[in-house]
C-alpha cells in the first residue's frame, strides 16, 4: 500500500518536473516566508524589554518600521510562492487532462465499452480537479508550512530549550490522530468518487432517454435510482465531513493543553529569572504562530488523500493498454499499397470464429467467404445473427478467436489500423453525428474534401433537397447527434460523410433503414453509379435494398448459411426465401 502511494506520488511528480525553474522560484519564495515568519515574534523581545520596560525612547520608531518592512517582504514572498505553485500545478493538470482524453480515444473499443459514460465524464469533472487541488494547495502547504514550522521551532529552541521540548511532547499524539482519521477518509472518498460516476450515468441517461422516459412513464423508477445514489453520496460525504470536522477541534484541544502546560512552566522559569518578560511574550507569540501551519498541515491530509484516490483512477486509466496499431514501419510502407492491383480476393474470411468477451455464445461461428474487387455484396439475416460483427472485425475493432481474415492476401493483423481504416467508408448502426454543422459533419469523412465534392456527396445521398431548406443550409448546426434532423436525414448525412471519404471499401450497416423505399433506391442508384470501382458491402433489413447485389450472404446465428445472387437464392428452399417472404408479408416473421 505504502509503496503504491509512493509510486503514485512519483508519477504525479513526473508531470511537474519539467518546470524546474518555477519550482526553484516557488521554493525560494517559501524559504523566504519561513525566514520572515519568526522575525515578527523576535521583534517583540526588544520591543518589550527595551522600549516598553526600560522606556528607552531614542529608537522607538525602529521596531515598528522593521515590522512593516518584514510584512511587506513576507507578503511579496507569499504572492510569488502562491502564483508560481499554482502555475506549476495548472500546467501539470492541463497536461494530465489532455493525456487522459487522448488515451481514452486510443483505447480499444472493447475497453472503452466496458466503462459507463458517466464514469468517463466524472473523471474529467471530479477526479482531475481533485488532483489539481492536491497538487497546488498541498504543494504550498506541505513545503511552506513545514519550512515555517521548522523556522519557528528553531526560534523557540533558541529562546528556551525546556519550554520547547515540553511543547513538542504533545506533537506525536496529534500526528497519530491525524494519520488515523486520514485512512478512514480515503476509503470513503473512493466510494464517493465511484458513486459520483453512477450519478453522472443517471443524469446522462435521463438526458439522452428523456423521450423514452416520458413515453414509458419511467420517471418514478429513474427518480428512485437517482435518489438512492444521491442519498448514498450524501451519507458518505457526511461521514467524511464528520471525520474531518472532528479532526480539527481534537487537534486544537490537544494544542490548548500544550499551551496551558507551557504557560505554567514559563511562569516558573521567569520566576527564576531565566526568561525575560519580552522573551516570554515572544515565545507565546511564536508558539501561537505554529497553530495555523499545523492546522493547515493536518487539513492538507484530506486534500492529498483525495488527490491520491483520484490520481489512482487516472493512472489506472492511463495504464490500460492502447489499441494495438499493428505492423511496424516497414509494413506500414508496404501496406499503403494494400488495395491496389492483384486478382486475388480483396477480403477473405477463413473459418473465422469470434465471441464478444462478455457473451456466452459465438457471434461468428466458422465463417468462410471471399469478396472480390468491385463486387457488391448484400448481407441479410435475422437481428443478432452476426452481420454487424463482420463490419466490426473488418474495421479492426476486435481480434478474432480463431481462423483468419485477409485483406488483399494480407493478414488483417499485420495491416496498420490507420491504413486499414483509411480504406474503409462506413455508415453505422446507429448513425452517429457530431454536434456541429452539416458541412463539418461531412468533412469528418474527409477533411480535404472540396466544396464541390461535398455538394456531390449531398446530391448522391439524396440530402441536397433537405439541406437546401435548412436555415444557413450547409452551415446549419444539427444539434447533439443530429437532434434537429429526422432519423432519415441523419442517415443521409452519414451516407454523404462516407461518400466524401471515397475509400475503396464501403460498409453500409442498415444505412438506409430509416428511409422510404423510394429514397433508398435513389441513393442506391446514385452510389452504384458513382462507385463502380468500389467494393460495397451492404447489410440490410429489407430485401429490396440488396436485391440487385452481385452476391448475397445469408447469416443465421453466427453462421454463413447461404451465398448466391437473388435469383439463385430465391429458387432454393432456405432462410433467404423465408426472409423474402417475411419481408413481403407472406409469412409472419418468426422471431427467434
Q: How many CB atoms lie under 10 A from the CB of residue 437?
A: 17
Stretch of residues binding ligand ADP (CB under 6 A), selected from 25-33, 319-327, 384-392, 408-416: 384-392
CA distance 346 to 374: 9
Beta strand segments in 402-448, E = 402-407, 410-411, 424-427
388 makes contact with Mg ion (CB under 5 A): yes
372 makes contact with ligand ADP (CB under 6 A): no
386 makes contact with ligand ADP (CB under 6 A): yes
- Residue selected from 291, 356, 372, 466 as contacting ligand ADP according to rule CB under 6 A: 356
389 makes contact with ligand ADP (CB under 6 A): yes
Residue pair 386/349 in contact by the 8 Å Cβ criterion = no
Question: Where is 537: in which H helix or E strand?
Answer: strand 535-539
496 or 560: whose CB is closer to ligand ADP? Answer: 560
- Residue selected from 273, 340, 359, 588 as contacting ligand ADP according to rule CB under 6 A: 359
- Residue selected from 56, 59, 113, 351 as contacting ligand ADP according to rule CB under 6 A: 113
Question: Where is 538: in which H helix or E strand?
Answer: strand 535-539
Supply 527's cell numbers.
452510389
Residues for the chain: how many in total?
Answer: 592
Number of alpha helices (DSSP H) and beta strands (DSSP E) in the chain: 25, 10
CA distance 421 to 328: 16
Residue 386, contacted partner among ligand ADP, Mg ion, none, CB below 5-8 A by kind: ligand ADP
Helix (H, G, I), strand (E, B) or coil at 231: helix
387 or 501: whose CB is closer to Mg ion? Answer: 387
- Residue selected from 272, 273, 358, 448 as contacting ligand ADP according to rule CB under 6 A: 358
Q: Taking CB under 5 A as the rule, which mask of x and - marks residues 340-379 in contact with Mg ion?
A: ----------------------------------------
Residue 90, contacted partner among Mg ion, ligand ADP, none, CB below 5-8 A by kind: none
Phi, psi of 550 (to 5 degrees): -60, -45
Helix (H, G, I), strand (E, B) or coil at 437: strand
592 makes contact with ligand ADP (CB under 6 A): no
CA distance 89 to 356: 42
Residue 381, contacted partner among ligand ADP, Mg ion, none, CB below 5-8 A by kind: ligand ADP
122 or 389: whose CB is closer to Mg ion? Answer: 389
Phi, psi of 379 (to 5 degrees): -125, 125
Stretch of residues binding Mg ion (CB under 5 A), selected from 151-159, 218-226, 380-388, 450-458: 380-388
Residue 113, contacted partner among ligand ADP, Mg ion, none, CB below 5-8 A by kind: ligand ADP
- Residue selected from 345, 384, 403, 428 as contacting ligand ADP according to rule CB under 6 A: 384
- Could you please report the per-residue DSSP string of 543-566? HHHHTTSSEEEEEETTEEEEEE-H
Let me know if 588 is exposed, middle or buried by CB neighbors in 10 A (0-12, 13-18, 19+).
Answer: exposed
Stretch of residues binding Mg ion (CB under 5 A), selected from 183-191, 385-393, 456-464, 540-548: 385-393
462 makes contact with Mg ion (CB under 5 A): no
Q: Taking CB under 6 A as the rule, which mask of x and - marks residues 171-190 in contact with ligand ADP?
A: --------------------
192 or 390: whose CB is closer to Mg ion? Answer: 390
114 makes contact with ligand ADP (CB under 6 A): no
Residue 243, CA distances (Å) to 141, 189, 238, 249, 586 in order = 21, 12, 8, 11, 71
Supply 413's cell numbers.
493483423
Least CB distance to Mg ion at residue 575 (A): 17
Taken in order 190, 191, 197, 199, the sign of the CA dihedral is negative
Contact footprint for ligand ADP (CB under 6 A): 113, 356, 358-359, 363, 381, 383-389
Amino acid at each position: 500500500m505504502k509503496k503504491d502511494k509512493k509510486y503514485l506520488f512519483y508519477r504525479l511528480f513526473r508531470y511537474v518536473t519539467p518546470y524546474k525553474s518555477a519550482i526553484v522560484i516557488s521554493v525560494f519564495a517559501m524559504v523566504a516566508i519561513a525566514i520572515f515568519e519568526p522575525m515578527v515574534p523576535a521583534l517583540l523581545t526588544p520591543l518589550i524589554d527595551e522600549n516598553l520596560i526600560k522606556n528607552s525612547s531614542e529608537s522607538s520608531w525602529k521596531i515598528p518600521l522593521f515590522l512593516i518592512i518584514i510584512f511587506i517582504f513576507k507578503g511579496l514572498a507569499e504572492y510569488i510562492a502562491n502564483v508560481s505553485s499554482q502555475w506549476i500545478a495548472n500546467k501539470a493538470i492541463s497536461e494530465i487532462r489532455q493525456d487522459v482524453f487522448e488515451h481514452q480515444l486510443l483505447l480499444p473499443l472493447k475497453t472503452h465499452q466496458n466503462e459507463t459514460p458517466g464514469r468517463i465524464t466524472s473523471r474529467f469533472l471530479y477526479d482531475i480537479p481533485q488532483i489539481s487541488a492536491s497538487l497546488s494547495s498541498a504543494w504550498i502547504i506541505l513545503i511552506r508550512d513545514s519550512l515555517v514550522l521548522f523556522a519557528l521551532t528553531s526560534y523557540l529552541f533558541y529562546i528556551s530549550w525546556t519550554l520547547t521540548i515540553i511543547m513538542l511532547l504533545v506533537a506525536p499524539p496529534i500526528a497519530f490522530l491525524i494519520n488515523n482519521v486520514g485512512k478512514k477518509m480515503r476509503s470513503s472518498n473512493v466510494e464517493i468518487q465511484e458513486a459520483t460516476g453512477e450519478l453522472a450515468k443517471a443524469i446522462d441517461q435521463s438526458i439522452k432517454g428523456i423521450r423514452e422516459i416520458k413515453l414509458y412513464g419511467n420517471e418514478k423508477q429513474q427518480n428512485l435510482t437517482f435518489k438512492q445514489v444521491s442519498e448514498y453520496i450524501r451519507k458518505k460525504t457526511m461521514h467524511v465531513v464528520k471525520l474531518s470536522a472532528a479532526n480539527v477541534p481534537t487537534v486544537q484541544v490537544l494544542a490548548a493543553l500544550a499551551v496551558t502546560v507551557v504557560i505554567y512552566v514559563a511562569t516558573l522559569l521567569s520566576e527564576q529569572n531565566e526568561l525575560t518578560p519580552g522573551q516570554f511574550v515572544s515565545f507565546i507569540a511564536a508558539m501561537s504562530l505554529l497553530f495555523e501551519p499545523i492546522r493547515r498541515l493536518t487539513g492538507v491530509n484530506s486534500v492529498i488523500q483525495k488527490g491520491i484516490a483520484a490520481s489512482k483512477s487516472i493512472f489506472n486509466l492511463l495504464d490500460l493498454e492502447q489499441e494495438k496499431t499493428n505492423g511496424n514501419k516497414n509494413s506500414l510502407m508496404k501496406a499503403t499499397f494494400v488495395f491496389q492491383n492483384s486478382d486475388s480476393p480483396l477480403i477473405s474470411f477463413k473459418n473465422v470464429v469470434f465471441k464478444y468477451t462478455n457473451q456466452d455464445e459465438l457471434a461468428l461461428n466458422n465463417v468462410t467467404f471471399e469478396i472480390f474487387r468491385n463486387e457488391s455484396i448484400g448481407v441479410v439475416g435475422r437481428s443478432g445473427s452476426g452481420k454487424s460483427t463482420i463490419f466490426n472485425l473488418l474495421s479492426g475493432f476486435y481480434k478474432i478467436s480463431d481462423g483468419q481474415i485477409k485483406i488483399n492476401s494480407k493478414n488483417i493483423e499485420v495491416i496498420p489500423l490507420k491504413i486499414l481504416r483509411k480504406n474503409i467508408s462506413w455508415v453505422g448502426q446507429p448513425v452517429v453525428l457530431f454536434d456541429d454543422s452539416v458541412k463539418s459533419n461531412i468533412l469528418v469523412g474527409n477533411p480535404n474534401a472540396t466544396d464541390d465534392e461535398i455538394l456531390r456527396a449531398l446530391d448522391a445521398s439524396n440530402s441536397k433537397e433537405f439541406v437546401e431548406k435548412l436555415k444557413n443550409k450547409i452551415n446549419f448546426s444539427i444539434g447533439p447527434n443530429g437532434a434537429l434532423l429526422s432519423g432519415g436525414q441523419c442517415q443521409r448525412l452519414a451516407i454523404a460523410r462516407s461518400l466524401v471519404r471515397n475509400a475503396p471499401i464501403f460498409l453500409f450497416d442498415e444505412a438506409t433503414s430509416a428511409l422510404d423505399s423510394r429514397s433508398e433506391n435513389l441513393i442506391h442508384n446514385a452510389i452504384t453509379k458513382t462507385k463502380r470501382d468500389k467494393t460495397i458491402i451492404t447489410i440490410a433489413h429489407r430485401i429490396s435494398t440488396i436485391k440487385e447485389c452481385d452476391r448475397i450472404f445469408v447469416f443465421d446465428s453466427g453462421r454463413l448459411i447461404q451465398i448466391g445472387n437473388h435469383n439463385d437464392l430465391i429458387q432454393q428452399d432456405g432462410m433467404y426465401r423465408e426472409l423474402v417472404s417475411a419481408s413481403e408479408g407472406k409469412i409472419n416473421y418468426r422471431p427467434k
